[in-house]
A and B are shown apart, each in its own frame.
Chain A
Amino acid sequence: MSNQPATEARGQEWRSRFPAVNYLNADYGIKSWLLTVDHKRIALLYLISISFFFAIGGAYAMAIRMELLTPQGDLMQSHTYNKVFTHHGIMMVFFFLIPSIPATLGNFLVPLMIGAKDLAFPKINLLSWYVYMVGAILTFAALLNGGVDTGWTFYTPYSTAFSNTYVVLAGVGIFITGFSSILTGLNFIVTIHTMRAPGMTWFRLPLFIWSNYAASLIMILGTPVIAITVLLVALERLAGIGIFDPRLGGDPVLFQHLFWFYSHPAVYIMILPSMGVISELVATFSRKPIFGYSFVAFSSLAIAVFGFLVWGHHLFASSQSVYAGMIFSIISFVVAIPSAVKVFNWTATLYKGSISYDTPMLYAFAFIGLFLIGGMTGLFLAALGLDIHVHDTYFVVAHFHYVMVGGTMMGYLGGLHCWWPKITGRMYPEGWARFAALVIFVGFNLTFFPQFLVGYMGMPRRYHAYPTDEPMWQVLHVMSSGGASILGIGMLIPVVYFVWSMRYGRFAPANPWPGTGLEWRTPSPPPTENFAVTPTVTWEAYEYRPMEETEVIGPGKTPDQPIGGQHPLNQAETEKRQ
């Protein structure tokens, strides 16, 4: 940060002006956390649990990369390898990527950004965390008991006739976890519709809200379909019922249709909230209003709507009719348009902006670059003819890691850094954070770019061995495994300094960057009810000034003042404690 002593001083000043009581210290003890209905505390519960499952998924990823260092299948047998990549996928997709941004940053920020005291249904919000934990623990138990070897997609008949592993237990866990996602989406939609502060019109909403709204629509309309599908697979295994079993007149491809009807839009559950984060970061750190606000807002909805119509591009090689294939191919190309609208509008926002290279902005840059590669290779895969060539190769693996890790992870980390001062009331160490962002960016590209090449050369996914007479293959795999180690270390650095900063970080001012959103107009960390009085919004979104003006007269049209001053209850509570 360019002006550390100034920020430090402002942080101290804010501390002295504001009461010591906030959502973190309003109550103590394990019960006050496990039974909390405060959206901010629930966000932290989610943050801890998804980080745990991310670490598990990451460990499996390292095991995969270790095996692929050498062409021979020498570290594990093929059956073990099947389980390892299945566990990696299940943990990362269902227990990290899907809840990642909505359940943590979304939970924390949606009420703050729209000027509400909480989400519309605080108890349902807490319930969603418990539902998530029950599902996660059941699935985790299935993995510990011997695991699942079907791949994270649970394709029939791998998951029905040909598997003796814990498919039902893992499936039930995923079924249950799906409901936590439905409950979160329901809460967001209702909150955004009914809980906005006076003056907070739809077109004054931060774009983070728009993108979470779009993602919530997918959670609501997509997740129940995977729920019924998993239920049918479980019934098929338990009761021998043959909806997906050709011996009983069923059709295994129906499973693929139902599965991807959810699981393709689920990719947009992962990426849309991340795009929302990037919109916030780009505007805040280039000190400019976002270029084409309404285009960016509606592009989120367009992605959500078109996202439901492209599932067939996963079935180009699965007996789908060629005419259906052509239509799905065309619609998949159409989804690229709203995605491109976002990328162009972000870059247009940067143009002549007053850009600062704080850590969140580094992640925003990383997102734009990596999402560009991930999205463009998605077009390769949406092209019918080319997809036949690269179908089920490492090209596909590299593509979706660029979108999911390069997209969602970068947005998640960028958002976490941007709002960490708001969440904890402490600044993270900027130097270390920039260093970690660089390590992660280098490690990520070294891991996944070689996979495009090895995939294009024909290396299939889900194999634990590959031929030795292709010398380039091993070179590329060694690069990828080396990159994975760098990426793994890069991920550990933020864990260390985030934990460190909770105790030793500098005090954060209410508005460290400074931003113009409502969440920056309440103390860091916020009081339990977020605002001393319900704010009234009289300004448009992203009314940013260049940094030079900001330092003199405040971040936007309204002065750098908290809303409403002292909270009466909070004041009384502070005096009592002193």
Chain B
Amino acid sequence: MAHAEAVEHGHHAPEAAHEALAHHFDNLEQQREAGALGMWVFIAQEVMFFGGLFLAYLIYRMKYPEAFMAASNHLDWKLGTVNTAVLITSSLTMAMAVWATQVGRARRTQVLFMALTMLLGFVFLGIKVVEYSTKYRDGLIPIAGWFDPHFALPAGVTVQNFQMFYWIYFAMTGLHALHMIIGIAILIPIMWAAWRGRYSPEYHAPVEIFGLYWHFVDIVWIFLFPLLYLLGVHFHAGGGH
């Protein structure tokens, strides 16, 4: 029914017949532009959402610099570095997936790049699980009654200030991981559509728009990694590694 109407309006009859064109758009180009702009606006919203936590981080890092360095020293910067590499690579494979649909590569190629992206996403989350469990082992889960570091804190650093870092660490990386999980969930139907050969040089907007989201989640991590992991690497007074 929607197609019938679109054809009757008849501005772009051949294109308008595309099965993916929604009834209220004139043509696929307008639909793609709307979708992409929508994702950019959503990303702006996400920047502000994470922004509240970045502000909290900034204030408490200025307030308690020693505690933050000592606490950062107890994060595993090697695992963090590996995860950074994993995510950047997943951004590359995602860009390749967008490219493969744009130039109309075989659907096997499209799905392959998407599957690689998803796999790398799982690798990232797996490493995050390892890190979180280490924190649990060391008594660094910042929930009331649980937080009990199994080691001596450096002189002048209180447990509360040490805990503040971990509280922000878990809030930020937890929210980031949630975004990764949502991203992987969205990728599943896109892969399925790619497997059924839905995407073509003419119509590939969902892949492109999802790519924007995936790159954004990666960029959040690019900021989180140095802010959280690299504060204490050069500062060994706190012990640990």
Contact = CB atoms under 8 A, between A and B. Distances in A.
A99 to B, nearest CB: 17
Contacts of B42: 186
Interface in B23-39: 23-26, 30, 33-34, 37-38
Given A190-B37, A193-B37, A249-B64, A221 B48 contact: yes
- Size range of the chain B interface in the assembly: 35 or more
Interface string B6-36: 0011010000000000111110001001100
B152 interface: no
A239 to B, nearest CB: 5
Interface string A228-269: 110010010001111100011111001000100000000000
A250 B164 contact: yes
A118 B34 contact: no
A224 B55 CA distance: 13
Interface string B86-125: 0000000000000000000000000000000000000000
A227 interface: yes
Nearest to B23: A117
Interface string B48-82: 11111101100110011000000000000000000
Given A248-B163, A248-B164, A249-B60, A186 B41 contact: yes
A221 B34 contact: no
Nearest to B163: A248
Given A220-B44, A254-B56, A241 B142 contact: yes
A568 B8 contact: yes
B140 to A, nearest CB: 13
B64 A190 contact: no
B33 A194 contact: yes
Interface string B132-171: 0000000000111100000000000010110110011001
A140 B185 CA distance: 32
Given A225-B52, A240-B143, A189 B41 contact: yes
A569 interface: yes
B160 A254 contact: no
A536 B38 CA distance: 25
Nearest to B46: A224
B49 A254 contact: no
Nearest to A187: B38
B202 interface: no
B41 A220 contact: yes
A190 B41 contact: yes
B111 to A, nearest CB: 26
B38 A248 contact: no
A109 to B, nearest CB: 16
A534 interface: yes
A543 interface: no
B52 A258 contact: yes
A186 B38 contact: yes
Nearest to B166: A241
Contacts of A134: none
B52 A224 contact: yes
A120 interface: yes
Contact of A235 (B26, B60, B171): B171
B38 A249 contact: no
A118 B34 CA distance: 12
A64 to B, nearest CB: 32
Contacts of B34: 120-121, 190-191, 193-195
Contact of A258 (B5, B22, B37, B55): B55
12 contacts: A119-B24, A186-B38, A191-B34, A220-B48, A227-B49, A228-B49, A235-B171, A249-B163, A251-B63, A529-B24, A534-B11, A568-B8
Q: Which 8 A-B pairs have the closest CB atoms?
A: A240-B144, A228-B52, A224-B49, A118-B24, A117-B24, A224-B48, A249-B160, A120-B34
Interface of A: 116-122, 182, 185-187, 189-191, 193-195, 220-225, 227-229, 232, 235, 239-243, 247-251, 254, 258, 529, 533-534, 568-569
Interface of B: 5, 8-9, 11, 22-26, 30, 33-34, 37-38, 41-42, 44-46, 48-53, 55-56, 59-60, 63-64, 142-145, 158, 160-161, 163-164, 167-168, 171
Given A193-B34, A220-B45, A240-B143, 14 more contacts: A117-B23, A120-B34, A187-B38, A191-B34, A224-B45, A224-B48, A228-B49, A235-B171, A243-B164, A243-B168, A249-B160, A250-B164, A258-B55, A529-B5
